[in-house]
Amino acid sequence: MPEFTKPFDSKWQAAVLLLPTFVVLIAFLYYPGLETFRLSLQQTILLGAQKSFVGLENYRTLATSAAYHKSFAISVAFAAVVVVGTLAVSLFVSYLLFQVDVGASTYLIAAIWPYALPTAVAASVLLFLLHPSLGIITHYLELLTGLSLDWFTNGPQAFVIVAVVAIWKQLGYNIIFMVAALNNIPGTLTESAQLDGVGHLKMLYKVYVPLMSPTLVFLVIIDTIYAFFATFPLVDLMTSGGPDGATNLLIFKLYRDAFEFSNLGLASAESVVLFAVVAILMYVQLRISESRAHYGG
Partner 1 sequence: MATRTNPDSALAGLLPEGVDTERVLIHGGLIFSILLMGLPLILALIMSTQNTSEVYQVTNVGVGSQGLSNYETALTQYNFGQYIINSIVMSAIIVVGKVALSLFAALALVYYKLPYERAIFMFILLTLLLPVPVRIVPLFDLMSRLGWGNTIMAITGPYIASATAVFLFRQHFMAIPASLVENAHLDGVGPLTFLWEVLIPMSKGMIAGVSVITFIYSWNQYLWPLIIMTDQSKQVVQVGLRFIQGAAQSGLTQWGLIMAGAIIALLPPLVVLIVMHRPLLETLAIQQK
Least distance from C-beta 245 to partner 1, angstroms? 19
DSSP secondary structure letter of residue 67 = H
Q: What is each CA distance from 137 to 71, 125, 131, 199, in whole angstroms?
A: 29, 11, 8, 35
Assess 188 for contact with partner 1 (CB under 8 A): no
Judged by CB under 8 A, the residue of 149, 162, 212, 258 near partner 1 is 258
Site string for partner 1, 76-105 (x = CB under 8 A): -------------x--xx--xxxxxx-x--
Assess 59 for contact with partner 1 (CB under 8 A): no
Distance from C-alpha of 236 to C-alpha of 5, rounded to nearest angstrom: 53
DSSP secondary structure letter of residue 27 = I
Assess 148 for contact with partner 1 (CB under 8 A): no
**CB–CB of 264/44 below 8 Å?**
yes
Q: Which residues contact 203 (CB under 8 A, 6 or more apart)?
A: 190, 193, 194
Judged by CB under 8 A, the residue of 151, 159, 223, 233 near partner 1 is 233
At position 103, the amino acid (one-letter code) is G
Assess 249 for contact with partner 1 (CB under 8 A): no
- Phi/psi for 135 (5° steps) reads -70, 130
Least distance from C-beta 123 to partner 1, angstroms? 8
Helix (H, G, I), strand (E, B) or coil at 42: strand
Assess 117 for contact with partner 1 (CB under 8 A): yes
Assess 61 for contact with partner 1 (CB under 8 A): no
Query: Which region, judged by CB under 8 A, interacts with partner 1, from 59-67, 69-77, 204-212, 247-255?
Result: 247-255
Assess 189 for contact with partner 1 (CB under 8 A): no
Helices (H), 100-129: 104-112, 119-129
Q: Which of 231, 230, 85 is nearest to 167 (CA)?
A: 85
By C-beta, is 47 or 66 nearer to partner 1?
47
Assess 110 for contact with partner 1 (CB under 8 A): yes
Judged by CB under 8 A, the residue of 75, 174, 215, 247 near partner 1 is 215
